[in-house]
Structure formats: structure tokens, C-alpha cells
């Protein structure tokens, strides 16, 4: 097996330099080693493997609806009062809001009847208009969301790095 040049030179020089570089890398990424008796989450490792090799779509994970929004997130949606003279309508049922009635506002500022949005959020965690996602109680899905967000950030960082090198 041929090691990359960087590793060959580091191994030839001093193993402590490599250990130092790797510990700096792990610290920079905010990774911590597993504690005594802890085991890695094999499901997450398998999901990363499938994603990294472009097989995630074949498993069908992107075609399923996201899990429901957490009960706490739904309960904490602000309730707003519809002022008289406003001619807004609920995007779900398409009925106009009545003057002085109450409605629920999503963090993305879309407004819905409570009886329309709550059943929707009991099925999926996203706004029906813009797909803004509320938190869920599903730990695996939350980890998937974080990984997806990190992948987008890494892609932006790579583009930025590339542009800074060649401009």
C-alpha cells in the first residue's frame, strides 16, 4: 500500500508530529474520542457510508416524509391576532381569516389557521409553503439534518477556498 506523500514524510520524521497534527484536527472539528465502554453508533456510520458513496437515494431515505414536528415546537408557535381590514387567507384551507381571529405563525412568518397547521405538523415537521423545518423528537433525523447542513457548509467552504486560490 502506498501512503500519501504527506503521511510518508511525517512517518519518516517523527510519529509524535503526526499525532499532534491529528489531535489538532480532531480538536478543530470538535470531535472527542469515545469514552470507556462507549461504542460508535453503527447506524449513523452506515448512513454516512451510504451517503458518501452516493447510495443514500437508492435506500429511499430522501423520498420519505420527515418525522412530525416536536410537540414542544408546535406548542411554542406564536399565536397572532388577525387585524380587521387584513385580507389574508390560510394557505392550507384557502379560507380568508376572519377579523379579530387567532392564527398560528411559523418561524418563517407564514400564517395559518391553528386547526390547519397543527394536524399538518403532526405528520411532518416542515412549513407547507417554504419547507422550513421545525425541530423533531426523532434523534436520528436530527443527526441526519445536521450532517446534511454540514455537507452544504463544507461545499461552500470548498468553493470559497477554490475561488480564493484561483482569483
Encode pLDDT of 5-29 as tens digits: 444 444 455 555 555 666 676 677 6
In this prediction, the residues of the chain whose per-residue pLDDT falls under 50 are 1-11
71-122 architecture in CATH?
2-Layer Sandwich (3.30)
Q: What is the per-residue pLDDT for 10?
A: 47
As a whole number of angstroms, the distance between CA 84 and CA 138 comes to: 40
Structure confidence at residue 47 (pLDDT): 81
What does the mean pLDDT of the chain come to?
Answer: 81
Question: What 3-state DSSP class applies to 89?
Answer: strand
Question: Interior CA angle at 86 toward 82 and 91, to 5°?
Answer: 75
The pLDDT, as a whole number, for residue 109 is 93
Closest CA to 78 of 101, 112, 105: 105
CA 52 to CA 143: how far, in whole Å? 15
Strand partners, 71: none
The reported pLDDT for the residue numbered 108 is 95
Give the pLDDT confidence score for residue 1 in this predicted structure. 42
Burial of residue 58 (CB within 10 Å: 0-12, 13-18, 19+) is exposed
Residue spans of beta strands (DSSP E) within 18-162: 79-81, 102-105, 111-112
Amino acid at each position: 500500500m502506498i501512503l500519501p506523500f504527506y503521511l510518508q514524510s511525517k512517518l519518516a520524521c517523527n510519529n509524535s508530529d503526526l499525532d499532534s497534527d491529528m489531535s489538532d484536527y480532531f480538536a478543530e472539528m470538535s470531535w472527542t474520542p469515545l469514552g470507556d465502554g462507549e461504542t460508535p453508533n453503527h447506524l449513523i456510520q452506515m448512513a454516512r457510508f451510504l451517503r458518501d458513496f452516493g447510495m443514500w437515494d437508492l435506500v429511499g431515505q430522501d423520498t420519505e416524509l420527515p418525522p412530525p414536528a416536536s410537540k414542544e415546537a408546535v406548542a411554542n408557535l406564536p399565536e397572532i391576532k388577525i387585524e380587521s381590514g387584513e385580507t389574508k387567507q390560510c394557505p392550507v384551507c384557502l379560507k380568508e381569516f376572519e377579523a379579530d381571529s387567532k392564527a398560528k405563525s411559523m418561524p418563517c412568518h407564514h400564517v395559518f389557521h391553528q386547526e390547519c397547521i397543527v394536524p399538518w405538523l403532526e405528520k411532518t415537521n416542515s412549513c407547507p409553503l417554504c419547507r422550513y423545518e421545525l425541530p423533531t423528537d426523532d434523534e436520528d433525523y436530527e443527526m441526519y439534518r445536521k450532517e446534511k447542513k454540514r455537507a452544504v457548509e463544507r461545499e461552500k467552504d470548498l468553493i470559497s477556498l477554490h475561488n480564493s486560490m484561483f482569483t
